[in-house]
Structure 1
């Protein structure tokens, strides 16, 4: 008589698919993914950036800057449309941090305006800069092959953007490299989530659809089902009620495709406390439950065909088994 749904809710939504740390710059990069071409000292000479002979000097880079990109980053870039920054002919320079930069500078010889930066780790950024930081609209391909296109602020993902990372895609709002605000993520296996995020975690209202067609719509807290929500299984089962720590906890209504229905309290996905169970033939049990089974005092109401009326019996149950009827 149990709902047999505990296994469906083990772990966090979609088998733990969530994004807790979007700071891609801190992720380890395998040495095998980098193909850095060493500079030829005969081809790279110190050259003032401007004709006024300013103190700021960078080495002129005369090789192919794209060869400093990691192999994976070059593979990803080959699948993307080119970004036209309309400054052909501007030289590429080796910057103190080990990156290669081609683009616009301000009066302090800081990267400002439009430019292309290939970092020492093999990643590539194309877009806007301000005071040496990525700021404005841009495209970042990391050394391990992740792709972000959207808004930057002071070097961070900030505002609206699209992120393709490992086996999922996310489109929505970011703050400080983390999903924050409204967004949507789609996984390669067909699972998807659309809703609210706070600092990289699902928080607030949202809807998660699993790849088997099951879905949940309601509250989330730190990537877990929390608060009021509706969960529908592909086999026709449905639960609407309170959730806590990814499980049915509190009052809710569970229905089956064949017409069975339970209205009452749950603890960790099990009927527990006061509740009413109704069968398709109209029979009703109302009473106490303990960890999914009738336990303690309860009343059964059913239609007696011989008498032609509703009959209510009172009894005592123990772990799902009726022990005795109670008179009176």
Structure 2
């Protein structure tokens, strides 16, 4: 069984949202180059005001907008973008001293909206942010070559998404707190279905079906990634065993066949 049209459609839907963000980021990059070329640097006073968390804006200055400027902060960080009400608001680029770079939308000094964040470990996130955390639709390209595209909540993979390993194998399904959790399907590098069913903590857990090859599969209950509970095993499309399983092995009277044979011997 190959990847269904439903999952291909889902991936393309996510990818369209990501590509739209990339286009926006490209425009911000252009603004950055123009600002640097014009040497539009913030004054020391403007920088000190922005760094001061207790700085109060008077009524006359509320809503004041400052055009794109370069802000070289005292801690080594650099911001290029707009300032509204003495805070980073709108589109801009923030480069941290430790090597992290964010290009995108800001709201009240926080990453909020859509953008791209390149981390110091070479992971790259392209997607939506909410109050400084990855939330919404986003794609993470890991330095390992793995990739996740789908839903995020509070900085973690949450909801429906697609995870692709560098070897080409794919998981499509539900996530919770960064882990495969809920219903999902796993495919090998050729797009053949390996497992479909329930997951918990990155392992098959609950009702599911595991397929080795055509004509050979197990369907039933899983626990912590093992065949455990009631299930059936087929070989050459014929039923070989139907009954209870205990940690990947057929079980009779709550004992595996190996345990039973050891008593006989």
Query: What is the TM-score with the length of structure 2 in the denominator?
Result: 0.74
- Summarize the alignment of residues 68-79 of structure 1 with structure 2, pairs less than 5 Å apart: none
In the alignment, which residue of structure 1 is the partner of 2:165?
Answer: 210
- 1:215 deviates by 1.3
Give deviations 1:277-327, integer Å, cap 9, x for gaps.
001262421001111111116xxxxxxxxxxxxxxxxxxx84134959xxx
Relative to structure 1, the CA distance from residue 99 to residue 83 in structure 2 (aligned partners, 3 Å threshold; closer, same or farther) is farther
Aligned counterpart in structure 2 of residue 227 of structure 1, from 171, 176, 182: 182
Structure-2 separation of matches of 1:183 and 1:110 = 31
Alignment gaps of 5+ in structure 1: 1-79, 298-316
The answer for the alignment partner of 2:243 in structure 1 is: 287
Aligned with 1:319 (options 252, 256, 261): 256
Is 1:94 the counterpart of 2:94 in the alignment?
A: no
Q: Which residue of structure 2 aligns with residue 150 of structure 1?
A: 104
Unmatched runs of 5 consecutive residues or more in structure 2: 1-28, 52-57
1:249 has 2:186 as partner: no
Task: Render the CA deviation track for 1:90-114: whole Å, top value 9, x for unaligned.
Answer: 675223865899xxxx964998322
Cα distance, 1:197 vs structure 2: 0.6
What is residue 129 of structure 1 aligned with on the other side?
Answer: 83
State the alpha-carbon separation in 2 of the partners of residues 289 and 155 from structure 1.
Answer: 56
Q: What is the number of equivalent residue pairs in this alignment?
A: 223
Larger Rg over CA atoms: 1
Structure ranking higher in helix proportion: 2
Q: CA deviation at 1:89?
A: 7.4
Offset from partner CA, 1:1-60 (integer Å, 9 cap, x none): xxxxxxxxxxxxxxxxxxxxxxxxxxxxxxxxxxxxxxxxxxxxxxxxxxxxxxxxxxxx
Residue aligning to 1:200: 155
The alpha-carbon distance between structure 1 residues 95 and 277, as it changes in their structure 2 partners (threshold 3 A), is same
Contact between 2:216 and 2:237, CA under 8 Å: does it hold in 1? Answer: no
Task: Check if 1:141 corresponds to 2:95.
Answer: yes
Do the aligned partners of residues 159 and 89 (structure 1) sit closer, same or farther apart at CA in structure 2, a change above 3 Å counting? closer
Q: 1:109 to 1:201 in 2, by over 3 A?
A: closer
Deviations 1:152-185 (A, max 9, x none): 0000000011111122111111001100011111
